[in-house]
Amino acid sequence: GAVVSQHPSRVICKSGTSVKIECRSLDFQATTMFWYRQFPKQSLMLMATSNEGSKATYEQGVEKDKFLINHASLTLSTLTVTSAHPEDSSFYICSAPRTGQLDTEAFFGQGTRLTVV
- Sites of contact with another protein (CB under 8 A): 1, 4, 32, 34, 36, 41-46, 49, 93, 95, 97, 102-111
117: which residues sit within 8 A by CB, 6+ positions away?
12, 13, 14, 15, 86
> To the nearest whole angstrom, how small is the minimum distance from the Cβ of residue 108 to another protein?
4
> To the nearest whole angstrom, how small is the minimum distance from the Cβ of residue 67 to another protein?
16
The partner residues of 94 in beta bridges, in order of sequence, read 35
Assess contact for 11 and 20: CB atoms under 8 A: no
> To the nearest whole angstrom, how small is the minimum distance from the Cβ of residue 104 to another protein?
8
